[in-house]
């Protein structure tokens, strides 16, 4: 399968650089797989689209303000993206032109040192516990295609309202459209809401550079499924209820935690499940997602779920209707 099959032209003006002021006012494209029809709604209408008895699964990861700014030894400015917490003083990190033992003084006087580990990865060793400093002085790690500096309001809008477990360096963007009001409305309709955790890493934005899709190696990400969530999902499947995944992270978490009988198992560890056309879905019946970058693993996943031609048709119509694309953009629900 060719990576070029998942290419399309995304003009700059369709990329959303800021969120809408009211999350649930985002537009919602409804894509029906059975008859290939497309409808245009608003996200606040989601409770009207879902049915009583559906199970809505959300990713409760919390984005860390992991973008730090400071100066190198000789006063040159440096930007660091923390990607994985090892402990309170050590973090894996990404930065331009790192050097082993390079010292950094971060804004506010907090100090650290760059170390190279044995896997060609870079680590920041902070002089003291950095958790509080990161929480208060770090900036939100906006995706690289949002060409602006993070602002204070990104701490609110680049975070789901139900974010609970710290660990992500990118937001599960399908969840950004939910408000507490909408979640209450969904519950009142008789739709059960469950939570899993998948901490998105910086690799979520990594482009597919291989000519063939199958040759791409996807990044590992930590995920958790509680005993209670696994039991509830398996019970719902036995009863013929629909599992609604809010985001590609939920899909990868659930579909990657099955035993030989197709039951979801509790999970605490890493997943590198790569979903592309040909994948057989066993758990997820409905997918809520945003509009994704060309040639991305996310676009490949939604194409696996709905069919490549239908998705590219939907994306073309989205541009004709002037939808907003990518992390701060509009949403799609595939039924």
pLDDT, average across residues 292-320: 97
Q: Is there a contact between 147 and 17 (Cβ–Cβ < 8 Å)?
A: yes
- Looking at residue 118, what is its pLDDT? 65
Using the predicted structure, report yes or no on whether residue 74 has a pLDDT greater than 80: no
- Looking at residue 140, what is its pLDDT? 96
pLDDT, average across residues 22-34: 98
- Looking at residue 205, what is its pLDDT? 79
Using the predicted structure, report yes or no on whether residue 72 has a pLDDT greater than 80: yes
- Looking at residue 228, what is its pLDDT? 98
Q: How far apart are CA 214 and CA 8, in angstroms?
A: 19
Lowest pLDDT segment from 29-38, 56-65, 113-122: 113-122
CATH 2.40.10.240 fits 67-137, yes or no: yes
Q: Where are the domains of the chain?
A: 3-63+154-334, 67-137
Listed residue (324, 323, 252) closest to 283, CA to CA: 252
Q: How far apart are CA 138 and CA 112, in angstroms?
A: 14
Residues 6+ apart with CB under 8 A from 60: 160, 162, 163, 164, 165, 195, 196, 197
Give me 297's structure tokens: 């693993």
3-class secondary-structure state, position 79: strand
Across the chain, mean pLDDT equals 95
- Looking at residue 240, what is its pLDDT? 97
Using the predicted structure, report yes or no on whether residue 54 has a pLDDT greater than 90: yes
Around Cβ 111, how many Cβ atoms within 10 Å? 14
pLDDT, average across residues 320-332: 98
Q: How far apart are CA 142 and CA 170, in angstroms?
A: 7
Half-sphere exposure of 190 (CA within 13 A, CB side): 5
- Block residue for tokens 């119509």: 317
- Looking at residue 204, what is its pLDDT? 81
Q: pLDDT tens digits, residue range 161-184?
A: 999 999 999 999 999 999 999 999
* Overall size of the chain counted in residues: 335
- Looking at residue 84, what is its pLDDT? 87
Q: pLDDT tens digits, residue range 193-245?
A: 999 999 998 888 788 999 999 999 998 899 999 999 999 999 999 999 999 99
Q: What is the pTM of this model?
A: 0.93
> What CATH architecture does domain 3-63+154-334 belong to?
3-Layer(aba) Sandwich (3.40)
Q: How far apart are CA 295 and CA 301, in angstroms?
A: 11
Q: Is there a contact between 98 and 122 (Cβ–Cβ < 8 Å)?
A: yes
For residue 287, give the DSSP letter. Answer: E
The residue among 276 and 96 whose pLDDT is bigger is 276
pLDDT, average across residues 119-127: 87
Q: How far apart are CA 101 and CA 182, in angstroms?
A: 50
3-class secondary-structure state, position 261: coil
Identical fold for domains 3-63+154-334 and 67-137, yes or no, is: no
Q: Is there a contact between 73 and 100 (Cβ–Cβ < 8 Å)?
A: no
**Which residue blocks in the chain are alpha helix, DSSP H?**
46-49, 131-137, 154-157, 180-188, 227-238, 248-255, 297-306, 308-320
- Block residue for tokens 């482009």: 207
């Amino acid at each position: 399968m060719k990576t070029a099959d998942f290419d399309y032209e995304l003009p700059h003006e369709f990329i959303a650089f800021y969120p809408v002021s009211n999350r649930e006012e985002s537009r919602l494209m409804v894509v029906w797989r059975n008859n290939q029809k497309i409808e245009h709604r608003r996200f606040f209408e989601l409770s009207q689209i879902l049915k009583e008895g559906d199970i809505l699964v959300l990713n409760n990861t919390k984005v860390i303000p992991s973008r730090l700014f400071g100066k190198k030894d000789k006063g040159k400015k440096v930007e660091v993206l923390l990607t994985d917490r090892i402990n309170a003083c050590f973090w894996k990190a990404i930065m331009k032109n790192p050097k082993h033992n390079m010292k950094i003084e971060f804004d506010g006087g907090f100090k650290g040192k760059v170390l190279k580990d044995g896997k060609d990865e870079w680590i920041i060793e902070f002089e003291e516990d950095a958790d509080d400093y990161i929480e208060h002085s770090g900036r939100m790690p906006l995706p690289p295609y949002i060409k602006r500096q993070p602002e204070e309001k990104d701490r609110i809008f680049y975070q789901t309202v139900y974010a609970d477990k710290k660990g992500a360096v990118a937001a599960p963007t399908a969840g950004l459209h939910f408000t507490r009001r909408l979640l209450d409305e969904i519950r009142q309709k008789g739709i059960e809401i469950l939570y899993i955790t998948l901490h998105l890493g910086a690799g979520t934005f990594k482009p597919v550079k291989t000519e063939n899709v199958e040759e791409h190696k996807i990044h590992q990400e930590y995920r958790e499924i509680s005993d209670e969530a696994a039991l509830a999902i398996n019970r719902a499947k036995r009863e013929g209820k629909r599992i609604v995944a809010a985001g590609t992270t939920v899909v990868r978490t659930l579909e990657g935690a099955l035993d030989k009988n197709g039951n979801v198992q509790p999970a605490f560890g890493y997943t590198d499940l790569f979903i592309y056309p040909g994948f057989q879905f066993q758990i997820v019946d409905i997918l809520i997602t945003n509009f994704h970058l060309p040639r991305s693993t996310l676009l490949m996943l939604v194409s696996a779920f709905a069919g490549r031609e239908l998705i590219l048709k939907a994306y073309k119509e989205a541009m004709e209707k002037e939808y907003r694309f990518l992390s701060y953009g509009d949403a799609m629900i595939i039924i």
